[in-house]
A and B are shown apart, each in its own frame.
Chain A
Amino acid sequence: MSEMMDYVLSFLILTGAVFTFIGSLGLARLRDFYTRLHGPTKATTLGVGSLLVASAVYFSTRGEGVSLHEVLVTLFLFITAPVSAHLLAKAALHLRLKSLAKAPEEAGRPET
């Protein structure tokens, strides 16, 4: 593998690590449940995304054929991450968790 490739891969892995870390940092720094929800769901998509690109490129250039498992991981991640975020937010509204934003009036009411 060429040296150039090593730099590209290192860059991707470091970017991924930094964004994943910032996402987790969000959990500690932000101040209410709803804002905390944004950290892990967003910052990690790009973080995990670049880690997966790095993995696909690395295993594809090792000469054992193209590795496309990462495409599936991305696909499943993009399907499941927003759904779980939505469900968490919905459950939080239902339980009327303390919120920095003014919660809409009818939001806490149980649905029929």
Chain B
Amino acid sequence: MFRRLLPHPLLTPALAAVWLLLVNSAAPGHIVLGLFLGWAIPLFTLRFWPEPVRIRRPLTLLRFVMVVLYDIVVANLAVARRILGRPERLRPAFVEVPLALTSDLAISLLANTICLTPGTVSARLAPDRASLLVHGLDVADAQALIHSIKQRYEAPLKEVFEC
């Protein structure tokens, strides 16, 4: 019963927060409206989110977000330097990263993270979800790239969203 009324308990406060930011006000009326939207929208979009989202280690998630933000800044500097340098020297490559994640949410978060960070774009998920094809702007060592993706991003995501 509880699960049917509130299929995604985490989504409700998140949507309410987004609503308050959108109207840029914290008036009681808007808080109530935000909570109502946070309750109603998950009900109507239920079929897009078949599996419940469970965050097991909030602290690990927070550290992961910090690592990603730091990497984004470093990525920007690295990419800027490569763009300003000589384009002929770049070594672009496709790298196949084997996945240990299984849940949809974790995989899409990993793909998004890869797109946001150092000179890499996730290009394709294998039909069997066993690997993710990643395009690197300047890959010196494919093994090192795979290792760093697995170590820095995949491991914490696995800890947070799967067991």
Identify the A interface with B (CB < 8 A). 19, 22-23, 25-26, 29-32, 34-35, 37-39, 41-43, 45-47, 49, 65, 67-69, 71-72, 75, 78-79, 81-83, 85-86, 89-90, 92-93, 99-104, 107, 111-112
Residues of B with C-beta under 8 A to A42: 75-76, 79, 116, 118-119
Residues of B with C-beta under 8 A to A85: 115, 121
Q: A38 and B124: CB pair below 8 A?
A: no
Interface centre among A22, A47, A72, A101 (most CB of B within 10 A): A101
Residues of B with C-beta under 8 A to A35: 87, 90, 92, 137
Interface centre among A82, A100, A107 (most CB of B within 10 A): A82
Q: B121 and A26: CB pair below 8 A?
A: no
Closest to A45 in B: B72
B75 to chain A, nearest CB (A): 6
Q: A69-B24, A89-B124 are in contact. Are A43 and B79 (CB under 8 A)?
A: yes
A77 to chain B, nearest CB (A): 10
Residues of A with C-beta under 8 A to B92: 32, 34-35, 99-101
B113 to chain A, nearest CB (A): 8
Identify the B interface with A (CB < 8 A). 18, 21-22, 24, 72-73, 75-76, 79-80, 83-84, 87, 90, 92-94, 96, 111-116, 118-119, 121-124, 127, 133, 135-137
Contact for B83 among A30, A78, A103, CB less than 8 A? A30
Q: List 11 A-B contacts (CB under 8 A).
A: A19-B80, A32-B92, A38-B137, A42-B79, A42-B116, A43-B79, A43-B80, A71-B21, A82-B116, A101-B136, A102-B94
Q: A22 and B84: CB pair below 8 A?
A: yes
Residues of A with C-beta under 8 A to B127: 111-112
Residues of B with C-beta under 8 A to A112: 127
